[in-house]
Amino acid sequence: MITALTRNETWSLLTLVIACFSVLANTFQGDGEPLIASLALSGIAFAATFSLIRWLGGVFMRAGLKGKDMAKLRRPELPETMGAVCAIVYILLIIVFIPFPFYKDIVAATSGGGNRDVVLPVEHVETGRFLHRFPHSKLASYLSGILSLQSIIILGIGDDLLDIRWRHKVFIPAFSAIPMLIVYFVDFGVTQVVVPAPLQRFLGPTVDLGWLYYVYMAAFAIFCPNSINMLAGINGVEVSQSLVIAVLLLINDSLYLAPFTPYPHPAMDSHLFSIYLLLPFIGVSLALWWHNWYPAKVFVGDTYCYFAGMVFAVVGILGHFSKTLLLLFIPQIFNFVYSTPQLFHLIPCPRHRLPHFNVRSGLLEPSVAEWSRPPSKLVALALEILHQLRLVRVWKNEEGDITESTNLTLLNLWLLWFGPMREDKLATHIVVLQLFCGAIGLLVRHKLALWVFKVDNRAFG
Amino acid sequence: MITALTRNETWSLLTLVIACFSVLANTFQGDGEPLIASLALSGIAFAATFSLIRWLGGVFMRAGLKGKDMAKLRRPELPETMGAVCAIVYILLIIVFIPFPFYKDIVAATSGGGNRDVVLPVEHVETGRFLHRFPHSKLASYLSGILSLQSIIILGIGDDLLDIRWRHKVFIPAFSAIPMLIVYFVDFGVTQVVVPAPLQRFLGPTVDLGWLYYVYMAAFAIFCPNSINMLAGINGVEVSQSLVIAVLLLINDSLYLAPFTPYPHPAMDSHLFSIYLLLPFIGVSLALWWHNWYPAKVFVGDTYCYFAGMVFAVVGILGHFSKTLLLLFIPQIFNFVYSTPQLFHLIPCPRHRLPHFNVRSGLLEPSVAEWSRPPSKLVALALEILHQLRLVRVWKNEEGDITESTNLTLLNLWLLWFGPMREDKLATHIVVLQLFCGAIGLLVRHKLALWVFKVDNRAFG
């Protein structure tokens, strides 16, 4: 494990940081251009994360934050929980970013004791299309998003340290979503949703879901982090899928800012909000990806998966496009649904379900769950059907009883379909799958949604 | 180490929790009474922290979060970093508390896409003296305070885990203060301070400190957590001093709400803000104190000291009474100033400066720093003078060169003055000292400040 930057890396990162700082300094000359500042800060985030991952590798190992890479011949020990470094750099950067999009809309003089008895409104300067600033009232939303992200980092680190049980872990994101939901409640409180056109005759144009909307948001916030944490276990796959989702979201966001979109678009603020949160996320994730792609030098830890999922949940909920977001989670949704028989223990669920590393061939193969006693007739029948559909593979003993069946994860299924392959090839396949499904999803969102809703909200106004 | 609650404790805590929940449920019937809700939530915070400390003791030990109690005969191993449990319960509770003081001052309907095109102002209902609610605009301040607290928890846990160097540690609170200072900048931005009466002829009634005010706030936020972390090392002393400061602050706050104070008082909001943050802090700290007082069952970790100090820094800065707060930190300020010769390495500074445990007597004695080579003439003279003033004790060899001198901490000085004593007696003395100095401080603040300022702001209006 190299714990220092090479001379080449040092100079490249230094150049990047200097360039970013110059861009940042330039944004101060006008009224501040949040989008450009966000880009520059993301460059700094990349450089900082890259360097810190290198420098802290040894420190983490000494502190016992380490794990064995089981899918390698020598099973090297690597630093764990490096996602925490990512996440902390990210949080710091999006906090430092606050003054760029939020101008002061009140300037107050005080007569002491914390009261604001002299309030002077200052005129709001609109500085152009891409240089848009947020109204001050969005600050609370932004802060609540950061609070939720910080909460999941604290709980994620706790999980990585204390090895919390699966059935408790699932609710970590629920706890972390509380700040966001509570601020949503006191600050915004919109629980109406637009009704699809065919149903508007019965329900009217919008329907108020009330507290059900909060249940939906909580479920969404539980799903995103956990689903990323489930599609995990081989080098680079956690970071790659997060990067693909982030980039697709960014493309979707830019549709609302692009020159061909009518201006000012009512959803523009929400999508700027999303961009401001995603750009530095891509910055820190790229730095982690560099070290985590095959052959991995560091592990990301549950912390990263939770953190990445929560970034998406925050963006989706506070940006009001959670349904669109789910279209980018198709592989994760499939993986979750496909896993349920094991999660609910209809099929035995071993502690780890990652693909099996074949020491002789150096390739990954589907891993299996062993049946200590044969399944009930119903389960056996279902497994047989799935086996015929090539959705699972079962092995039987001479009596015809099922003794082993493949673990129900997307990674194992992929190996079942396309045969054993090397770890990086499998990860690449999954990344391409994610990209393909996501692109289709966005196409459906913007082209086909018109069949169900009257307008694509991108063309609103 | 007992890791379960006794039957007696279970029932007591359960009764407390049920009582608190009933009180909480009652506050929903009217318009919500934030102060009563805060009290009830603090009771729940106590019960939750108490139980979690018990239940997690073993888990922390297994995860390697443990340390030896050096001031005991058998040097038992105890769980470390239990302050993190406190802090996480605290954060969760003050987030859940948000809806109580912050009413919705806007209700918005939406046309989709996150825009608020229909804004309906709702009349503001004032529900009486103690049931006061915050204006919505204070939400960002409150959230930024929570962000700073979460940041220091993350960094504190990092410190406890990774054993960061002293010269890096000092700046942990500075990083954590960033969210609060940035939101202060975009949201409030008041940097004027009231000028003492004798100077008003020259400077006018207030003076704008500008960016210097931010430097002051950052310095304040660095000082509070580090100064508590420095007055540490014997069972119970960290939590006790924090509890004394919190209770004195609470007394000071209630002066602004008391029936004899003119109503509505302009500083009332700031002091309510302070009460809302302090009540649950007292709740979680009492639960920790129970387990950390002599003979300790758990250690609090740097996390607790940082967290406690940051609670005070947040309260002082966002409540605008940082000068008053410093009057309650007199023992900490003395301890810091007294330590500087060792911190700046004018006098050798061993890794740990806690009092020495005499195995034979079972009492604590002042610990010493060894001089591997004799001090320079100037330092020797200074030490000699301090020795004569009984502020330090030095030992010399036959040549008259200084070979050892007591470590410069308040705890060692106290043992030097009052002789060796048992750990709990020393802790009790320090608590009484803290209480005494703080009470004097508050008296000075409210009685003698009139000599310097025209009015005591409590009687404002």
Q: What is the mean pLDDT of residues A48-69?
A: 91
Nearest CA in chain A to B163: A63
Task: Write down the mean pLDDT value for chain A.
Answer: 85
Among B187-201, B286-300, B402-416, the range scoring the smallest mean pLDDT is B187-201
Q: How many angstroms away from the CA of B368 is the closest CA of chain A?
A: 30
Q: What is the mean pLDDT of residues B271-293?
A: 95
Q: Cβ contact (<8 Å) for B186 and A143?
A: no
pLDDT for res A190: 72
* Residues on chain B touching A173 (C-beta within 8 angstroms): none
pLDDT tens digit string along B132-152?
556 666 788 899 999 999 999
Q: Is the pLDDT of residue B101 over 60?
A: yes
Give the whole-angstrom CA distance, residue B171 versus residue B339: 18
C-alpha dist (Å) from residue A412 to A166, A226, A233, A295, A362: 20, 18, 11, 20, 16
pLDDT for res B112: 36
Q: What is the mean pLDDT of residues A141-161?
A: 91
pLDDT for res A452: 66
* B151-190 residues touching A, CB cutoff 8 A: 151, 153-155, 157-158, 161-163, 175, 178-179, 182-183, 185-190
Among A188-192, A307-311, A324-328, A348-352, the range scoring the smallest mean pLDDT is A188-192
Residue pointed to by tokens 């909307």: A213
Q: What is the mean pLDDT of residues B54-65?
A: 90
Task: Write down the mean pLDDT value for chain B.
Answer: 85
pLDDT for res B262: 67
Disruptive mutation site among A52, A92, A161, A274 for chain B (greatest number of B CBs within 10 Å): A161
Q: Cβ contact (<8 Å) for B112 and A140?
A: no
- Asked if B98 has any chain A CB less than 8 Å from its own CB, the reply is yes
pLDDT for res A111: 34
pLDDT grade for B116, boundaries at 50, 70 and 90: very low
Q: Cβ contact (<8 Å) for B178 and A92?
A: yes
Q: Is the pLDDT of residue A411 over 90?
A: yes
- Asked if B460 has any chain A CB less than 8 Å from its own CB, the reply is yes
User: In terms of C-beta distances under 8 Å and separation of at least 24 residues, what long-range contacts does A255-259 make, across chains too?
Assistant: A255/A446, A255/A458, A256/A458, A257/A129, A257/A130, A259/A129
pLDDT for res A109: 31
Please report, rounded to a whole number, the percentage of residues in chain B having pLDDT higher than 90. Answer: 56
pLDDT tens digit string along B85-100?
999 999 999 999 988 8
Q: What is the mean pLDDT of residues A378-395?
A: 93
pLDDT tens digit string along A276-327?
999 999 999 999 999 999 999 999 999 999 999 999 999 999 888 888 899 9
Q: How many angstroms away from the CA of A106 is the closest CA of chain B?
A: 8
Please tell me which residue, A260 or A354, carries the higher pLDDT value: A354
Q: Is the pLDDT of residue B242 over 60?
A: yes
Q: What angle do CA B10, B12, B17 make, to 5 degrees?
A: 90
Disruptive mutation site among A133, A187, A310 for chain B (greatest number of B CBs within 10 Å): A187
Q: Is the pLDDT of residue B188 over 70?
A: no
pLDDT grade for A115, boundaries at 50, 70 and 90: very low
Q: What is the mean pLDDT of residues A13-31?
A: 87
In this complex, the residue of B99, B179, B183 whose CB is nearest that of residue A182 is B99
Q: Is the pLDDT of residue A40 over 60?
A: yes
pLDDT grade for B31, boundaries at 50, 70 and 90: low
Q: How many angstroms away from the CA of A168 is the closest CA of chain B?
A: 14
pLDDT for res B114: 38
The count of other CB atoms within 10 Å of the CB of residue B167 is: 8
What is the SS3 string spanning B80-141?
CCCHHHHHHHHHHHHHHCCCCCECCCEEEECCCCCCCCEEEECCCCCCCCCCCCECHHHHHH
Show Cβ contacts of residue B11 under 8 Å, excluding neighbours closer than 6 positions. none
Nearest to A248 by CA among A325, A180, A317: A325
- Asked if B192 has any chain A CB less than 8 Å from its own CB, the reply is yes
Q: Cβ contact (<8 Å) for A178 and B63?
A: no
β-sheet bridge partners, residue A119: A108
3-class secondary structure, A365: strand
Q: Is the pLDDT of residue A110 over 50?
A: no
Give the whole-angstrom CA distance, residue A150 versus residue B88: 11
pLDDT grade for A454, boundaries at 50, 70 and 90: low
Please tell me which residue, A242 or B35, carries the higher pLDDT value: A242
* Residues on chain A touching B323 (C-beta within 8 angstroms): none
Q: What angle do CA A411, A414, A418 make, to 5 degrees?
A: 145
Judge whether A110 and A119 are in contact, CB under 8 Å.
no
pLDDT grade for A3, boundaries at 50, 70 and 90: confident
Q: Is the pLDDT of residue A119 over 70?
A: no
Please report, rounded to a whole number, the percentage of residues in chain A having pLDDT higher than 90. Answer: 56
pLDDT grade for B382, boundaries at 50, 70 and 90: very high
Backbone angles phi and psi of B460, in degrees to 5: -55, 145
pLDDT for res B207: 81
Q: How many angstroms away from the CA of A300 is the closest CA of chain B?
A: 16
pLDDT tens digit string along B367-380?
999 998 888 889 99
Give the whole-angstrom CA distance, residue A350 versus residue A66: 22
pLDDT for res A129: 37
pLDDT for res B313: 96
Nearest to A38 by CA among A171, A165, A131: A131
Domain ranges of chain A: 63-88+127-328+424-459, 356-421
Q: How many angstroms away from the CA of A216 is the closest CA of chain B?
A: 17
User: What six digits make up the tokens of B297?
Assistant: 């069952």
pLDDT for res A262: 67
DSSP H or E segment with residue B368: strand B368-370
pLDDT for res B118: 37
- Asked if B120 has any chain A CB less than 8 Å from its own CB, the reply is no
The strand ranges marked E within A137-214 are 192-194, 206-208
pLDDT grade for B103, boundaries at 50, 70 and 90: low
Say what the pTM is: 0.86
pLDDT for res B108: 32
Q: Is the pLDDT of residue A118 over 50?
A: no
pLDDT for res B129: 36
Look up residue B370 and give its DSSP letter: E
* A263-282 residues touching B, CB cutoff 8 A: 266-267, 269-270
- How many contacts (CB atoms, under 8 Å) link A and B? 183
pLDDT for res A87: 95
Dihedral sign for Cα atoms in the order A419, A420, A422, A427: positive
pLDDT grade for B293, boundaries at 50, 70 and 90: very high
pLDDT for res A329: 96
In this complex, the residue of B147, B182, B189 whose CB is nearest that of residue A104 is B189
pLDDT grade for B299, boundaries at 50, 70 and 90: very high
* A31-70 residues touching B, CB cutoff 8 A: 56, 59-60, 63-65
3-class secondary structure, A164: coil
User: What six digits make up the tokens of B96?
Assistant: 């859940």
Q: Cβ contact (<8 Å) for B183 and A111?
A: no
Q: How many angstroms away from the CA of A269 is the closest CA of chain B?
A: 8
CA A362 from centroid of its chain's CA atoms: 31
Backbone angles phi and psi of A396, in degrees to 5: -120, 160
Q: How many angstroms away from the CA of A47 is the closest CA of chain B?
A: 18
Please tell me which residue, A388 or A345, carries the higher pLDDT value: A388
pLDDT for res B258: 72
Judge whether B403 and B415 are in contact, CB under 8 Å.
no
